[in-house]
Amino acid sequence: MTGLEGLGWGPLLETAFAPFRAEGWEPARVTIQHSRLYTVQTDAGETLAEVSGRFRHEAAEPSDFPVTGDWVAIHPPAGEGTATIHAVLPRRSGFIRKAPGDASSGQLVAANVDTVFLVMGLDGDYNPRRLERYLSLAWGSGADPVVLLTKPDLCPEAPERKRALEVFGAPVHVVSPKHGHGLDALTPYLSPGRTVALLGSSGVGKSTLVNTFLGEDRFETRAVRESDDRGRHTTVRRELVVLPGGGLVIDTPGLRELGLWESAEIEAVFTDVLAIAAGCRFSDCRHEGEPDCAVNRAVAEGVLDHARLESYHKLQREIRHLEVRHDPRARLGQKRKWKSIHKAAKHHKPRG
């Protein structure tokens, strides 16, 4: 495939683009997101682009702006100038997290992705609780999550850890790009025209994986710190590249914060908890001390890990907090609830 077809263009996108083509605009895909500019790929080749003044004025929130992987409608540059982005085509998927340091908005990390490779090292990076967060956001993005466990040479318990994570609901693969181990299992995800995004902490081997897929050292890699196995940032921007076999990969910088967003699908990650919960006495059981709770009984009997149940509760509370912040009616109900509690406390006279 060549041109836009090699970037995943197809009949559905052509139909969606028809009104923009009538305006004399051309389709392009964002391959690199800079601070204010974008590198986009068109049928004619690569060019820099920036959003129009009208686009910037009408954008309601940060996630309305283009990100790596987006399909956009552009006005081609005159000569060697900069193209103008007038619109973003509807996204069929989008990995979004709570914007770091801002509880009121979400940050779109990558768009129009078919598969999300959630990369986690089997060294000091290994953290099932963090993976539950990644999976919740990935299931809610519209893409299919796949877990990649790297650095198996540093973990004798790699097979056991792989089996422990399979209950989370996504395929799990143990890979070592440095030694060429397990990479054949990833070939089906990298078929021509399909887009894969790599997400994970710094130092887990995302850029090494992309270099292996490309067959060349295009992206800089750096060893983790020996003191704590923490990675150093080498990827500083989100970039979409075309692989020799026709697949598309988006490499991303390591994510230090991973706050949930409204689109997160927690239930998809905790199907084991929900299956056990079907045996609870009450259909609305919250598994927090209610009588005849099958989930708490499973924890007591060692069938369910207590840390996993605690994580389930924590993520549920985080989602409810987001819903209250962004739903005016829920926020009003919460305000009335606390007002009545304070009023009752004010008129309460302690005994004695």
- Overall pTM surpassing 0.75 (yes/no): yes
Q: Sorting pLDDT into bands at 50, 70 and 90, what band is 337?
A: very low
pLDDT of residue 168: 95
Structural contact between residues 133 and 258, judged by C-beta atoms closer than 8 angstroms: yes
Q: In CATH, which of 3.40.50.300, 3.90.180.10, 3.40.718.10, 3.40.228.10 is domain 94-251?
A: 3.40.50.300
Q: Across all residues in the chain, what is the average pLDDT?
A: 86
| Mean pLDDT, range 301-330, rounded to an integer | 84
Q: Which residue has the higher pLDDT, 346 or 12?
A: 12
Strand ranges (DSSP E) for the chain? 26-33, 38-42, 45-51, 71-75, 83-88, 94-98, 106-111, 115-121, 144-150, 172-174, 195-200, 239-242, 248-251
| Mean pLDDT, range 298-305, rounded to an integer | 95
pLDDT of residue 177: 87
Supply 199's token pair.
Answer: 């997400």
pLDDT over 90 at 72, yes or no:
yes
- Angle made by CA atoms 184, 189, 192, in degrees to the nearest 5: 105
| Mean pLDDT, range 104-125, rounded to an integer | 92
Residue 155 identity (one-letter amino acid): C
Cα radius of gyration (the chain)? 23
Q: Sorting pLDDT into bands at 50, 70 and 90, what band is 334?
A: very low
| Mean pLDDT, range 99-111, rounded to an integer | 80
Structural contact between residues 112 and 31, judged by C-beta atoms closer than 8 angstroms: no
Please tell me the distance from the alpha carbon of residue 212 to that of residue 299, in angstroms, as a whole number.
42
Q: Alpha helices, DSSP H only, in the chain? A: 11-21, 53-58, 128-141, 158-165, 206-214, 271-277, 294-300, 306-326, 328-347
The region of weakest confidence among 38-52, 108-122, 202-216 is 202-216
Q: Sorting pLDDT into bands at 50, 70 and 90, what band is 346?
A: low
- Render pLDDT for 75-91 as a digit per residue (tens, 0 to 9): 988 777 899 999 999 99
| Mean pLDDT, range 310-315, rounded to an integer | 95
pLDDT of residue 217: 79
Nearest to 245 by CA among 205, 207, 212: 212
User: What is the maximum span of the chain, computed from C-alpha positions, in angstroms?
Assistant: 87
Q: Report the CATH superfamily, name and number, of domain 3-88.
A: Nucleic acid-binding proteins (2.40.50.140)
Please tell me the distance from the alpha carbon of residue 280 to that of residue 75, in angstroms, as a whole number.
59
pLDDT over 80 at 174, yes or no:
yes
Residue ranges covered by each domain of the chain: 3-88, 94-251, 271-347
Centre a 10 Å sphere on the Cβ of residue 320 and count the other Cβ atoms it contains. Answer: 12
pLDDT of residue 270: 95
Measured in whole angstroms, how far is the alpha carbon of residue 222 from the centre of its chain?
23
| Mean pLDDT, range 159-183, rounded to an integer | 93
pLDDT of residue 352: 43
pLDDT over 80 at 227, yes or no:
no
Please tell me the distance from the alpha carbon of residue 348 to that of residue 335, in angstroms, as a whole number.
20
- Considering the chain, what percentage of its residues have pLDDT values greater than 90? 66
Nearest to 119 by CA among 60, 187, 204: 204
pLDDT over 60 at 342, yes or no:
no
CATH class belonging to 271-347: mainly alpha
Contacts 24+ apart (CB under 8 A), 300-309: 303/276, 304/272, 304/273, 304/276, 307/128, 307/129, 308/128, 308/132, 308/270, 308/272, 308/273, 309/273
